[in-house]
Amino acid sequence: MTMLGRTANQLYWMARYIERAENMARLIDVANRMVLLDVPGQAHESVWGSTLEVAGYPEDFVTFGGQISSSGVVLFLAFDDGFPSSIFSSIRAARENARALRVSITSEMWESINTTWLELRDYDSRTLFNGGVRDFCDWVKERTHSFRGVTDATMLRDESYAFLDMGLAVERADNTARLLDSKYHVLLPRDEHVGGSVDYYQWGAVLRSLSAFRAYHKVYSDVIQPRRVAELLLLRGDMPRSLMACFDRITSQLESLCQGRPQECQRIAGEIHASLRFGRIDDIFRQGLHEFLTRFIARNADLSAQIEHDFMMLQRSRIPA
């Protein structure tokens, strides 16, 4: 049986929203740790300021009267139902899509996301102020891991799965690129103190937020250096949250979807994939990491729009719930 374009779109966005919720939890968790560690030379305000920046929120954070406070930002990023990328909004949107997709996903997947939503809705956000940030972030990660586990264990490997997997990979690549770009801003312009303690904590935080801290040490057995962090998270296919790993997934799913019918999105994905696969970290740094990441984020967004165009045949503008 073939699949409706609209269904493909909802699957794709459901996966993106779930991934987005997890990334937000990672972001909060890392910022929270840095604040607790009292890293030398790092004002709390700048930690939360750069967190908001990665989260895609304008620099002038005014919602809480211009005051950047830990609890204010955490509450905003986690629970604000007017901020479309908050964990609350993302889970709600994923669950709304899942509700519409009951026929296309397994009942285990629906139960997983529905339970997550019901628990989140009833979550007492006051616990965040009593040292509960970490528990909350762990809970979000656990729920999103559980959703992916259930997806992996119960879903037929058909087109539905391909759209879910691409949604996840596109969102994840976007997040990794943004996170790197923001830290790059903070750290590299002066290009000094490489290996210093500020770098150590900053880049350590980046690695941790992408579950790559241990992997870094395993791969490089060396102190943390920005260039290597970048290499690990951009070019290494064996690092699950790297751009390369995301594009391995995207290109292989597109290959199965486009059999016999070449599509523009496949060409774009292939081009990006090739730049990661054959790119050298030294060249990237020579051109400028920031330029590379900015271009990547834009190309990734192009790809997403092209996927929607090629497969989803949307007629009226439809805002995914």
Partner 1 sequence: MTRFFDEMNLPDGEVRSAYRALAEWLENTPVDRLKSKRDEAEMLFRRLGITFLVYGREGGAERLIPFDIVPRIFSAQEWEQLSAGLIQRVRALNMFVHDIYHEREIIRAGVLPAETLLANALIEPHMHGLDVPRDVYVHVAGIDIVRVSEDRFYVLEDNLRSPSGVSYMLENRNTMMRLFPDLFSSVDVQAVEHYPQELLRNLRATAPPGVDDPTVVVLTPGSYNSAYFEHAFLADQMGVELVEGQDLTVRDGQVLMRTIEGLVRVDVIYRRINDEFMDPLVFRPDSTLGVPGLLSVCRSGRVTLANAFGTGFADDKSIYPFVPEVIRFYLSEEPILENVETYVLRKPDDLAYTLENLADLVVKEVHGSGGYGMLVGPMSTAEEREAYRARILDCPENFIAQPTLALSHCPTFVDEGIAPRHVDLRPYVLSGETVSVVPCGLTRVALTEGSLVVNSSQGGGTKDTWVLEA
Which one-letter amino acid corresponds to residue 101? L
Write out the two tokens for 129: 């102020």
How far apart, in whole angstroms, are the C-alpha atoms of residue 20 and residue 219? Answer: 27
- 318 burial level (CB within 10 Å; 0-12, 13-18, 19+): exposed
Minimum Å distance from CB 302 to partner 1?
Answer: 20
Residue 120 to residues 18, 147, 161, 261, 287, Cα–Cα distance (Å):
13, 14, 26, 42, 44
**Would you tell me which residues interact with partner 1 (CB under 8 A)?**
1-8, 96, 99-100, 102-103, 107, 110-111, 114-115, 118, 159, 257, 261, 311-316, 318, 321
**43/118 with CB nearer partner 1:** 118
- Residue with smaller CB distance to partner 1, 8 or 289: 8
Indicate the helix (H) or strand (E) that contains 240.
none
Q: How far is the CB of 100 from partner 1 (least distance, A)?
A: 4
Shortest approach of partner 1 to residue 17 CB, angstroms? Answer: 15
Nearer to partner 1, 208 or 267 (CB): 267
Cα separation, 292 vs 297, whole angstroms: 9
Nearer to partner 1, 184 or 311 (CB): 311
Q: Nearest-CA neighbor of 198 among 210, 213, 188? A: 188
Contact in structure between 75 and 113 (CB atoms under 8 Å): no
Q: What angle, 0 to 180 degrees and rounded to 10, lies between the N-to-C axes of helices 159-187 and 289-312?
A: 160
Judged by beta carbon, residue 146 or residue 225, the one nearer partner 1 is 146
34 to 30, 45, 225, 306: CA distances (angstroms): 6, 11, 18, 38
- What does the CA dihedral 34, 184, 246, 151 come to, rounded to 10 degrees? 20
135 vs 158 by CB, closer to partner 1: 158
What's the closest the beta carbon of residue 12 comes to partner 1, in angstroms? Answer: 11
At closest approach, how far in Å is the CB of 158 from partner 1? 11
**Residue 7 or 151: which CB sits closer to partner 1?**
7
Q: Tokens 């930690």 — which residue?
A: 47
